[in-house]
């Protein structure tokens, strides 16, 4: 199964397309505002408003053999610990070997932003190359899950 932290996910259509090709079920988890899909493999899961509700829902259900798409590093850590494969929207694989430094970097940046309110990063724009890397990574993750 593929779980998508869908509120701000720029690759929902790509997930649906690849999942359909592999006949894999998808759970798009969000606080609301997403259009339901007509695809029988895609289930929209609407969680209550509140901080991290979608993350909690995913973390409680994910397991070995699942694929998770998220940009949320703490959620990614929980999913890696549960045995899932985790992908960021740009195709970067999050795994046991790199989650520690990612969490540390996230925490450091949060501390720096708290210390200096004028330090607001603009973030990189999502590119066609990011989308392409994501499609390649999702394809590889689903093939790996199928072999397991």
Band of the pLDDT at 115, cuts 50, 70, 90? confident
Helix (H) or strand (E) run with residue 43 in it: strand 42-46
Cα–Cα dist 66/84, whole Å: 5
pLDDT of residue 123: 63
With beta carbons less than 8 A apart as the criterion, state whether 26 and 43 touch.
yes
pLDDT of residue 56: 94
Domain architecture of the chain: domains with CATH: 2-147 (3.40.50)
With beta carbons less than 8 A apart as the criterion, state whether 18 and 135 touch.
yes
Band of the pLDDT at 143, cuts 50, 70, 90? very high
pLDDT of residue 22: 95
Band of the pLDDT at 146, cuts 50, 70, 90? confident
On the question of pLDDT at 80 being above 70, the answer is: yes
In sequence order, what are the residues at sequence separation of 6 or more whose Cβ sits closer than 8 angstroms to the Cβ of residue 146?
22
Report, as an integer, the average pLDDT of 87-110.
78
């Amino acid at each position: 199964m593929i779980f998508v932290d869908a509120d701000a996910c720029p690759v929902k259509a790509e997930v649906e397309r690849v999942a359909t090709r592999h006949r894999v079920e998808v759970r798009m988890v969000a606080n609301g505002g997403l259009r339901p899909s007509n695809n029988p493999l895609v289930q929209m899961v609407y969680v209550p408003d509140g901080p991290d509700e979608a993350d909690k829902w995913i973390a409680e259900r994910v397991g070995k053999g699942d694929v998770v798409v998220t940009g949320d590093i703490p959620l990614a850590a929980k999913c890696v610990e549960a045995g899932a494969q985790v992908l960021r929207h740009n195709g970067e694989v999050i795994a046991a070997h790199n989650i520690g430094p990612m969490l540390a970097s996230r925490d450091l940046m949060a501390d720096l932003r708290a210390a200096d309110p004028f330090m607001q990063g603009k973030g990189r724009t999502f590119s066609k190359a990011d989308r392409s890397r994501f499609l390649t990574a999702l394809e590889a993750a689903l093939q790996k899950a199928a072999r397991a």
